[in-house]
Amino acid sequence: MNTTVICGAGIAGVATAHYLKKLGSTDRIVLVDRAQPLSFTTAASGENFRDYWPQRCMQDFISNSLKLIRELDDDYETLFSFKQTGYEFVSQDEDREIFPSDDISNDEGARAIQRILSPCLHATRPYLGDNIKQVTQITQAGSFDVYSLGQYLYSQARAADVEFKQVTVGNIEMSPDGTYALSLHQGNEASILKANTLILAGGPLTPKLAACLGIKLPLLSYLQRKIVLNDPLSIIPRDMPFTIFADPQHLSWTDEEKVAFSEDAELQWLLNEFPIGLHIKPESDSQIKLGWAYNRKSEQTEFTAYDDESFPDVVMRGASRFIPGLAQYIENMPTPITQIAGYYTRTAENWPLIGLLQENCYTVSGLSGYGTMAGCAAGELCAQTILDEQLPWYARNFDPSRYQDATIMAEIAAISSDGQL
Ligand SMILES: Cc1cc2nc3c(=O)[nH]c(=O)nc-3n(C[C@H](O)[C@H](O)[C@H](O)COP(=O)(O)OP(=O)(O)OC[C@H]3O[C@@H](n4cnc5c(N)ncnc54)[C@H](O)[C@@H]3O)c2cc1C
């Protein structure tokens, strides 16, 4: 019997295992991970989804993924706490085009975008500042419980005889016959696992796995963060939708602070323009969750992401720009603050990398800040590719060979928004 080894049991790896079995793979399938399944980047997910993307390939890919989630189980809403509560983009400019005009989703009436202007918007959103002049709603968006979804896929895979080994992959070598030998270790124990088919699904560590085989992947990793903290002043209503600030901004500082930062090379970045995308939602009974993917500096990936002491202050200052009540927390931050950090591992165009890398070696990676909503379609596409099934049209856009395809490169060159939040 042939053996397929999947390196990495995040959402990409477990979904690939599930769809390989669902689509009829007769291989022995072994999932390997240095830690418990779903415990690395997947555990950092903000658990949001949106069926709204700037390019057709991403739109169809994510739509398919959400369809696959719904098809997993008739009771998916309860099982995965799947809630379509919508997203609201807010702006200080009533004329701002929240989505670029070349955004394909704008053409689709079915995508239900609604624009609400000032003063109407404040009647039902008293928490927003008077400076907010526009709210653009997307209804096909919301949240789900990522761990429940991942566990469901993992349990289905295990029930279909997929094996799991908690080991670290230290090295991978390709044999002349096109098979692979993985050097594994756990504590002091070392072993070799042979694979006829190899799938690299190591999330941020995928480039390191590929490097063992001399393959350089076009992926960079950026640490991004969220914080969860109490909201003792009840600034955020419990039924507030996921709310995103759609304007770039400079944080507000006193004149003394501005002078001090401008003279300190380590702190000058605090005076820079920050990007759009700061987002807030209510969390559990009395907490709030805030995130802002403003980090544009890629870095070497590690298994332990470090806390950034400046993040809570920066994100609270940014958030008070559209929800002024939150300014009360800048000098008096409720504790404890839980910081959740993880890598957005992405290609420059923010499309995933799914397909063949070299003989019998595939990857499902580059899932950036959308991997938990995309997990099912990513796993399905990887499995379809390996099993030589008919592929969805977008497969060519995500195949690692796309960088040699002039037509796709022209599409990539024309991208005006990479859709990152
Ligand atoms: C702060 C943050 C918020 C996010 N919010 C959202 C969101 O709201 N919605 C959304 O859809 N997506 C979100 N994402 C993105 C999403 O979480 C990721 O795209 C997704 O989890 C990536 O899954 P993965 O399986 O590729 O990687 P991982 O989950 O990182 O899985 C890779 C696995 O490989 C294992 N591994 C790597 N190297 C080795 C090795 N050498 N040996 C053994 N095991 C190895 C790791 O231990 C890990 O378990 C967010 C990401 C971050 C960081």
Q: Is 360 in the pocket of ligand 1 (CB under 6 A)?
A: no
Which of 7, 33, 45, 365 to mutate for ligand 1's pocket (most ligand atoms within 8 Å of CB)? Answer: 45
Q: Which of 344, 274, 282, 276 is nearest to 314 (CA)?
A: 274
Residue 397 sits in the same domain as residue 376: yes
The residue out of 311, 346, 381 marking a domain boundary is 346
pLDDT of 100 reads: 66
Residue 9 sits in the same domain as residue 154? yes
Mean pLDDT to the nearest integer, 379-387? 98
Kindly indicate the confidence band of residue 112, based on its pLDDT and cuts at 50, 70 and 90.
low
Give the distance (Å) from ligand 1 centre to CA of residue 42: 4
Per-residue pLDDT reduced to its tens digit, 354-367: 999 999 999 999 99
> Is 190 part of a structural domain of the chain?
yes
User: How many domains does the structure of the chain reveal?
Assistant: 2
Cα 216 to ligand 1 centre (Å): 19
Give residue 107's pLDDT.
58
Q: To the nearest whole percent, how much of the chain has pLDDT over 70? A: 97
* Ligand 1 centre distance from Cα of residue 413 (Å): 27
CB of 277 sitting under 6 A from ligand 1: no
Q: Does residue 395 sit within a domain?
A: yes
Q: Model confidence at 119, in pLDDT bands (50, 70, 90)?
A: confident
* pLDDT in the model for residue 247: 95
Claim to verify: residue 259 and residue 113 sit in the same structural domain: yes
Q: Ligand 1 centre from 358 Cα, in Å?
A: 23
pLDDT tens-digit map of 158-179: 999 999 999 999 999 999 999 9
SS3 346: strand
| CA separation for the pair 157, 72 (Å, rounded) | 13
The CATH number for 293's domain is 3.30.9.10
In a domain, 131, yes or no: yes
Q: What is the CATH number of the domain that holds 42?
A: 3.50.50.60
Work out the average pLDDT over 63-72: 97
Are 227 and 337 in contact by the 8 Å Cβ rule? The answer is yes
Regarding the beta carbon of 346 and ligand 1, being less than 6 Å apart is answered no
Q: Does ligand 1 come within 6 angstroms of the Cβ of 212? A: no
**364 Cβ closer than 6 Å to some ligand 1 atom:** no
Q: Which of 300, 316, 346 is a domain's end point?
A: 346
| Burial degree of 366 (CB within 10 A; 0-12, 13-18, 19+) | buried
CA-nearest residue for atom 33, ligand 1, is: 8
Closest ligand 1 atom to residue 37 Cα is 49
Cβ(51) to ligand 1 under 6 A?
Answer: no
Nearest to 372 by CA among 8, 12, 86: 12
Same domain, 64 and 185: yes
Average pLDDT, the chain: 93
Do both 363 and 404 map to the same domain? yes
Q: Are residues 327 and 180 in the same domain?
A: no
Residues 234 and 280 in one domain: yes
Pocket lining: 312 vs ligand 1, CB cutoff 6 Å: no
Residue with tokens 């230290």: 170
Q: Do 282 and 229 sit in the same domain of this protein? A: yes
Which residue, 245, 253, 246, is CA-closest to 272? Answer: 253
Same domain flag for 261 and 367: no
pLDDT recorded at residue 65 = 98
From 19, 33, 87, mutation site for ligand 1 pocket: most ligand atoms within 8 A of C-beta: 33
**Whether the Cβ atoms of residue 37 and residue 201 lie closer than 8 Å to each other:** no
- 404: pLDDT strictly greater than 70: yes
Kindly give the distance from the C-alpha atom of residue 41 to the centroid of ligand 1, in angstroms, as a whole number.
3
Asked if residue 32 has its Cβ within 6 Å of ligand 1, the reply is yes
Which residues pair with residue 322 across a beta bridge? none
Task: Tell whether 49 is covered by a domain.
Answer: yes
DSSP 280-321: EEEETTTEEEEE-----------SSPPP-TTHHHHHHHHHTT
- % of the chain exceeding 90 in pLDDT: 85
pLDDT at 285: 84
Q: Whose CA is nearest to atom 16 of ligand 1?
A: 371
Residue 203: inside a domain: yes
Q: What's the whole-number mean pLDDT along residues 383-406?
A: 97
What sign results for the dihedral spanned by CA atoms 85, 89, 94, 97?
negative
End position of a domain, from candidates 320, 346, 372: 346
Using alpha carbons, select from 367, 62, 29, 379 the residue that is nearest to residue 203.
367
Q: Determine, yes or no, domain membership for 130.
A: yes
Residue 109 is predicted with a pLDDT of: 46
What are the tens digits of pLDDT across the range 223-232? 899 999 999 9
Q: Ligand 1 mean position to 43 CA, how many Å? A: 7
What pLDDT shows up at residue 110? 44
Q: Are residues 149 and 17 in the same domain?
A: yes
In a domain, 419, yes or no: no
In the chain, the amino acid numbered 77 is E
Mean pLDDT over 172-197 rounds to 96
What is the domain range of residue 230? Answer: 87-139+221-346
The one-letter amino acid at 145: D
Residue predicted with more confidence, 363 or 420:
363
Q: pLDDT (tens digit, 9 = 90+) per residue, 83-108?
A: 999 999 999 999 888 876 555 655 55
Q: Does 248 share its domain with 285? A: yes
Ligand 1 pocket check for 12: Cβ under 6 Å? yes
Q: Is residue 420 part of a domain?
A: no
**Tens digit of pLDDT for each residue in 39-57?**
999 999 999 999 988 888 9
Indicate whether 163 and 246 sit together in one domain.
Answer: no
pLDDT at 13 over 70: yes
